Amino acid sequence: MRTHTRHKVPESQTEPQQSIFTAPSMTDPEPLMTTTIRSPLAQKVAGAPKSELHIHIEGSLEPELIFQLAQRNHVQLPYASIDTLRAAYAFTDLQSFLDIYYAGASVLLHEQDFYDMTMAYAERALADNVVHTEIFFDPQTHTERGVPIATAVAGIERALAEAEQRGLSSKLILCFLRHLSEADALATFEAALPLFEQYQHRLIGVGLDSSERGHPPSKFERVFAKARALGLKLVAHAGEEGPPSYIYEALDLLKVDRVDHGVRSIEDPALVARLADTRVALTVCPLSNLKLCVFDDLTKHTLKALLDKGVAVTVNSDDPAYFGGYVNDNYFATLDALQLNDAELYTIIRNGFEASFVTPAERAALIARLDAHWHGKPAH
């Protein structure tokens, strides 16, 4: 379903919330600065240089920033307060999340909004020692509200260029919303062609996201073929809620370089063997899977089983503002739940660099930094 985001709310729910920009949220599950005592292994992971390969920039919009941008842009939100919005983050499945996700993105109107959102994410990533990130954005979420793709990309790029000066390298990947038509995706791709040229240092690929069930990768075979013809990198969400057959379609029809999620591949041993043999990486998002009920308990997550079978799994945050954590939180929860050891965590972090869309020299430099940290040598 297409989600309409500009809901009117009753007058009684639109009272100004004078304190919301200063008072901490009572329901905030974990403040940015935590005093939690971590194990030595968790601390080692926290300090390690890491990549992030599965992050929807619109999913990094924290409730506080959503409300600030709504006020700045005079956008009426269907939530009375930050706490009301955060309380709505009790998702039952992917669709229940997407409904709120699109409402949150409705505050993004101007280049500065995209800059602010992206810079807020960059601060979080840098705090987690992420040194390379490959960011998704959803142009159709914005063009349907009359915001040009160029506005979104310009704001995101300005923030990423600044973040790069502070040690966070990055790429940008344009995602098609799979619940919309193939024609819409094709039109979006055509509209973005000048941007792939203008921002070729940053905008290096296309992806496929949004409601998976009922929208198989095959629906987008032609637009992916066009992107491939331009030499763009290709990724697609597959096997999150959808069946293993969707992962086969992503590999065989879309010819993706990476699979986003892919956790249901474990149901098909031949597929697992193929992923392991070809080293096509999976960008796994453990806290997202937990929050969207893909697994009812992190101890049942398939990440470790896939790792054991030689699949190049990585750990990422997906939509961190909505799912309870950024990259380090995902590592902490996963290493606890799956009892990951030192060597396994090293492999997962290294997989992230192996699967990054960087040059061989950049990859070697990133892995050297990881090795220096992991093996206890001076970082530089």
Active site residues: 240
Nearest distance from residue 38's CB to Zn ion, in Å? 26
Nearest distance from residue 84's CB to Zn ion, in Å? 25
Are 291 and 260 contacting, i.e. CB atoms less than 8 angstroms apart? no
User: Which residue's CB is nearer to Zn ion, number 219 or number 373?
Assistant: 219
- The secondary structure element, H or E, covering residue 159 is helix 149-165
As a whole number of angstroms, the distance between CA 234 and CA 52 comes to 16
Side chain identity at 270, as an amino acid letter?
A
Kindly report the backbone phi and psi dihedral angles of residue 137, in degrees, each rounded to the nearest multiple of 5, phi listed first: -140, 155
Q: Closest CB to Zn ion belongs to which residue?
A: 318
Nearest distance from residue 66's CB to Zn ion, in Å? 19
User: Which residue's CB is nearer to Zn ion, number 124 or number 373?
Assistant: 124
Quickly count: other Cβ atoms within 10 Å of residue 243's Cβ.
17
Nearest distance from residue 171's CB to Zn ion, in Å? 16
How do beta strands 313-315 and 169-177 pair? Answer: unpaired
Nearest distance from residue 69's CB to Zn ion, in Å? 22
As a whole number of angstroms, the distance between CA 51 and CA 177 comes to 24
First to last CA, the chain: 51
As a whole number of angstroms, the distance between CA 38 and CA 327 comes to 15
User: Which residue's CB is nearer to Zn ion, number 235 or number 370?
Assistant: 235
User: Which residue's CB is nearer to Zn ion, number 284 or number 370?
Assistant: 284
Side chain identity at 47, as an amino acid letter?
G
As a whole number of angstroms, the distance between CA 231 and CA 306 comes to 30
User: Which residue's CB is nearer to Zn ion, number 75 or number 234?
Assistant: 234
Binding site for Zn ion (CB under 5 A): 318
Please list the residues that pair with 56 across neighbouring strands: 136
